[in-house]
Amino acid sequence: MKNIFVTIKKKWILSVVAICLVMPVLAGVFATQKASRPKPEYTIVIDAGHGGRDGGAVGKTTGVSESELNLQFALTLKAVCEEFGIGVVMTRSDMKGLYDENASNKKRSEMEKRREIINSSNADLMISLHMNSFPLSSCEGAYVFYGKGCEEGERLAGSISSSLSKSFDSARKIATIGDYYVLNYSSIPSALVECGFLSNPEEERLLASEQYQKEFCYSLLAGILSYFEMR
């Protein structure tokens, strides 16, 4: 019995030594592969609305906050974009707010930070993600907005609206002018997407579904890719 344990111990030691020798080689290979990856042809900014103290709208059924869902959709969109080789810049990647804690007007501080990230990104376009809410619980569907006077933003928003309406019957087919800070002060083509209504119990449950989030973001990506083809 003792000889068996000795043999097993020797094999285990040899295995550990082999792993220690191989790991640096593998690390070098992966580093080389990463370094040799071509620069993405396109880069987009994904803006998850709200964050920190500003939770936005709240779902009446599940109690989920708009801020949380915005981030979930943003991270999902990031993942699907990167699958297609599109570079991504995030305005936020966690639940923290973008405002300066010492700012007297935290909302303005947050908006200015978003503008700074967007306009210094050298990206091709920006998508801002939000959730809608309305006193009538029957209201449903995704809405897409663009900034007044921005022709490229209108084309981008129109392409996204068209794609979403083909995938989801409740999505609005035509993009609309929206008076939003991130649209008005963005130096690149931008669209703001209200993904659905948290005030609609059925849609709220869909928005909180991981599967629905993926389907929505793939459709959103299709609209982005269609826009790139039109340029």
pLDDT higher than threshold 90 for residue 198:
yes
The angle, 0 to 180 degrees and rounded to 10, between the axes of the packed helices 151-167 and 210-230 is 140
Residue pair 142/164 in contact by the 8 Å Cβ criterion: yes
The CA-atom distances, in angstroms, between 57 and each of 54, 70, 78, 104, 180 are 9, 11, 23, 23, 16
Enclosing H/E stretch for 187: none
- Distance CA(62)–CA(161), nearest Å, equals 27
CB of 197 within 8 A of CB of 69?
A: no
Helical (H) or strand (E) element with 77: helix 66-83
The Cα angle at residue 8 between residues 7 and 14, in degrees rounded to 5? 90
| pLDDT value of position 86 | 97
For all residues of the chain together, what is the average pLDDT? 87
Cβ pair 164, 144 in contact under 8 A: yes
Instruction: Judge contact between 139 and 57, C-beta under 8 A.
Output: no
- Angle, nearest 10°, between helix axes 210-230 and 66-83? 50
Domain ranges (residues) in the chain? 1-37, 43-230
% of the chain beyond a pLDDT of 70: 84
pLDDT > 80? residue 98: yes
Pick the CATH number of 43-230 from 2.40.50.180, 3.30.310.80, 3.30.1300.30, 3.40.630.40: 3.40.630.40
Strand partners, 48: 129
Q: How does pLDDT run across 37-69, given as a tens digit for each residue?
A: 567 899 999 999 999 999 999 998 999 999 999
135 φ/ψ angles, rounded to the nearest 5 degrees: -55, -35
Predicted TM-score (pTM) of this structure: 0.82
